[in-house]
Amino acid sequence: MSNHAQRRDVERYDEWAKTYEDSKIQKVRNEIHHNLQDWIAGAGTKPVRILDVGCGTGMLLHGLASHFPDAEAFGIDIAPSMIEEAKAKVTSEVPMTFVQAPAEQLPFDDGQFDLVVSTICFHHWRSRAEGLAEVRRVLAPGGRFYLADHFAIGWLRPFFAITMTRSRVHTPPELDQLMAGAGLSIAEWKLLYRLGGRLPLIHGVLAQARD
């Protein structure tokens, strides 16, 4: 993605931040978050430190904190207003740390997180290759990365070609290649949301560090 396109995306999300959780699409996001949380919790993992890349107002991170109350929770987002809204929702009962930063420059030490998540923002990253390399860098040994987004699968492939956004989304082989380039490998795919209860729309992948 070009720098201009990313700036346009950031401006749009900055303007949207205060009403983000009240938007009509919120019900869809909630279902995706719920299904992702169940997937993660069902794996039997007990993370110590969680990072949400592209956290928005922190909705998913709050859900994960309820599943894993003993874990430290961190969120980053490139849109400053999203981070402001996320910080405003932090309570002493559920402490969290939110930082304004791009996916391509995560402000954390190597191997700091055993669970990294990212939902429906991968296609907004300026460089998905650089962002994935950063995720790999901050993953602890044995850590898990759950990525949920639009992918060019089935009916979505011609749809994204028609809407001129194909460069932002990837086929499974393309994603495999991106992950491998970053030192990650995909262990599992999962359908997380169907449009109208019928058409597959949002898929999730579980990736881990390559041996």
10 closest CA partner among 100, 138, 113, 142: 100
pLDDT greater than 90 at residue 161: no
Structure confidence at residue 2 (pLDDT)? 59
For residue range 83-111, what is the model confidence (pLDDT) as tens digits? 999 999 988 788 899 999 999 999 999 99
* Residue labelled with tokens 């107002």: 57
Distances (CA, A) of 59 to 73, 87, 199: 12, 11, 25
| Cα–Cα dist 115/140, whole Å | 8
Tell me the one-letter amino acid at 26.
Answer: Q
7 pLDDT band, cuts 50/70/90, is: low
- Confirm if 63 and 34 have CB atoms less than 8 A apart: yes
pTM: 0.93
Structure confidence at residue 1 (pLDDT)? 59
The fold of the 3-209 domain, in CATH, is Rossmann fold (3.40.50)
67: DSSP letter: H
- Measured at the alpha carbon of residue 74, what is the angle toward residues 70 and 78, in degrees to the nearest 5? 165
101: DSSP letter: -
Distances (CA, A) of 32 to 65, 79, 112, 120: 16, 21, 26, 9
* H or E stretch covering 158: helix 156-162
The structural domains of the chain, with segments of one domain joined by +, span 3-209
55 pLDDT band, cuts 50/70/90, is: very high
pLDDT greater than 60 at residue 183: yes
Strand ranges for 158-197 from DSSP E? 184-195
* Residue labelled with tokens 């992702």: 36
Q: Regarding predicted confidence, which is higher, 17 or 211?
A: 211
